[in-house]
């Protein structure tokens, strides 16, 4: 994963500082708008019904709605309170991403760059401020990748780190299924490296592989069976619905019902989009645009216009560096981007939105961070491109901040025009 790992100092302290600033910005006016908006219309009422023990929104896993319900029960039923869990998950998930990146890359500077790029890519910020399921999935998913990568770096701690990583993987699946492709890759990598190092003894051999001392059979438990058991336990509230509870002994039957419910949604939505529009940052989703809380306000979900496009050549470079230069860190993030995007490209889900690009976009920022770090190391004048990219990313975040944060807009109804660089963003 990079011989320079032992040379750099762990940037955990600075990552924590940056996350605190990010969380403070997320927290600012978190209760605005003071009404339900966009997909909160599904999950906030579902959380309220969950408190009553009623069956609702059965097509999705339970954990995210249970966390929103806990906040409503303990803190109160207000817009601020039902968004607090997503905000906390956004901060913790961003830190977990930085830890995963550090243990995969071993580069202090690249880790800080990656954290900064994700914090300013618009999507992570917007999803941290809305009561939806995506940020819970991303938070637990990044925590799982952190533990899996740390197990490889510190094999003497491998067993407990794999166990904790499996726990987080199960919780991530319990929030939303679309994290599954990212969670499958560590197990596949374990299998390939075990085969390479131990040959026909790959099942039981404890030597070799990414975590020496852990056999493939044991890894299969921590990376496969254990997460699935945790995932099924996240349905605990559904086992106790007042009417039509889920049968805890029939997970297959219940998942057939969930798939049926998801496939039953066929009504076209004006903001629907496809994966090829996501990578071009072509199709936006308007979460909010109306007079609310005494002002005209808006929230539009798009990606950072610079970094989301700059990430595409960075991905190609990461794929090349991973294959041709055997950069395992570059290959890991390139494959994470490919698999999480490919999930949606191959999915039969009839209605898709740009927010499904949250995970692929995050791994794209990881590829961009590695590429910028590579530029930063050049001895010639091109190294200025690294810091310039960060300045431009931050500048665009500041410029778009009013329209991604439900800020007070001026000039009445056409106040969104200055940010609509493409007609497809309208």
135-166 in b/e burial notation, b at 16+ Cβ within 10 A?
A: bbbbbbbbbbbbbbbbbbbebeebbebbebbb
Unique residue bearing structure tokens 């320079």? 4
CB atoms within 10 A of CB 239: 14
**Of the candidates 209, 64, 199, the residue with the CA atom closest to the CA atom of residue 138:** 64
The pairs formed by 65-69 with CB atoms below 8 angstroms and a separation of 24 or more are: 65/133, 66/234, 66/237, 67/136, 68/43, 68/44, 68/131
pLDDT of residue 71: 97
pLDDT of residue 46: 94
**Paired tokens of 327:** 């950069």
pLDDT of residue 411: 63
Which secondary-structure segment (H or E) carries 228? Answer: helix 226-233
CA 176 to the chain's CA centroid = 10
Cα gap 412→56, rounded to integer Å: 38
pLDDT in tens, the chain (426 residues): 443 455 789 999 999 999 999 999 999 999 999 999 999 999 999 999 999 998 888 889 999 999 999 999 999 999 999 999 999 999 999 999 999 999 999 999 999 999 999 999 999 999 999 999 999 999 999 999 999 999 999 999 999 999 999 999 999 999 999 999 999 999 998 898 888 888 777 777 788 788 998 999 999 999 999 999 999 999 999 999 988 899 999 999 999 999 888 877 666 667 778 899 999 999 999 999 999 998 899 999 999 999 999 999 999 999 999 999 999 999 999 999 999 999 998 886 767 889 999 999 999 999 999 999 999 888 777 788 889 999 999 999 999 999 999 999 876 556 788 898 888 888
Cα gap 269→353, rounded to integer Å: 9
pLDDT of residue 268: 64
Contact 303, 117 (CB under 8 A): no
Cα gap 61→236, rounded to integer Å: 11
Cα gap 414→275, rounded to integer Å: 29
Contact 96, 148 (CB under 8 A): no
The pairs formed by 9-13 with CB atoms below 8 angstroms and a separation of 24 or more are: 9/108, 10/102, 10/108, 11/98, 11/102, 11/108, 11/111, 11/112, 12/98, 12/99, 12/102
């Amino acid at each position: 994963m990079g011989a320079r790992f032992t040379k750099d100092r762990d940037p955990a302290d600075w990552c924590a500082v940056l996350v605190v600033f990010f969380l403070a910005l997320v927290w600012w006016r978190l209760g605005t708008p003071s009404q339900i908006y966009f997909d909160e219309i599904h999950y906030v009422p579902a959380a309220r019904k969950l408190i009553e023990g009623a069956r609702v929104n059965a097509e999705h896993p339970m954990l995210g709605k249970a966390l929103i319900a806990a906040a409503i029960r303990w803190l109160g039923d207000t817009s601020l309170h039902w968004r607090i869990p997503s905000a906390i998950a956004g901060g913790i998930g961003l830190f977990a991403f930085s830890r995963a990146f550090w243990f995969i890359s071993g580069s202090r500077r690249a880790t800080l760059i990656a954290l900064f790029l994700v914090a300013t890519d618009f999507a992570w910020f917007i999803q941290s401020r809305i009561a939806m399921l995506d940020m819970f999935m991303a938070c637990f998913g990044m925590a799982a990748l952190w533990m899996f990568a740390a197990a490889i770096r510190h094999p003497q701690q491998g067993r407990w780190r794999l166990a904790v990583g499996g726990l987080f993987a199960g919780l991530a699946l319990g929030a939303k299924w679309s994290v599954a492709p990212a969670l499958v890759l560590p197990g596949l990598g374990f299998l390939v490296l075990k085969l390479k190092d131990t040959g026909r003894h790959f099942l039981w051999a404890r030597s070799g592989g990414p975590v020496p001392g852990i056999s493939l059979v044991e890894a299969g438990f921590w990376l496969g069976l254990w997460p699935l058991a945790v995932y099924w336990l996240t349905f605990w509230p559904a086992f106790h619905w007042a009417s039509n509870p889920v049968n805890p002994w029939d997970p297959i039957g219940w998942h057939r019902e969930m798939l049926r419910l998801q496939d039953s949604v066929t009504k076209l939505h004006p903001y629907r989009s496809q994966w090829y529009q996501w990578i071009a940052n072509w199709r936006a989703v308007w979460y909010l645009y109306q007079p609310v809380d005494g002002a005209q306000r808006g929230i539009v979900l798009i990606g950072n216009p610079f970094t989301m496009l700059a990430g595409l050549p960075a991905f190609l470079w990461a794929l090349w560096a991973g294959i041709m230069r055997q950069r395992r860190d570059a290959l890991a993030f390139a494959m994470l981007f490919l698999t999480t995007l490919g999930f949606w490209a191959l999915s039969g889900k009839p209605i898709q939105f740009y927010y499904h690009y949250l995970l692929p976009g995050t791994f794209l920022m990881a590829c961009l961070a590695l590429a910028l770090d590579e530029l930063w190391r050049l001895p010639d004048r091109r190294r200025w491109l690294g810091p310039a990219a960060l300045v431009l990313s931050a500048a665009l975040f500041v410029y778009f901040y009013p329209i991604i944060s439900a800020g007070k807009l001026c000039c009445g109804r056409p106040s969104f025009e200055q940010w609509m660089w493409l007609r497809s963003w309208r």
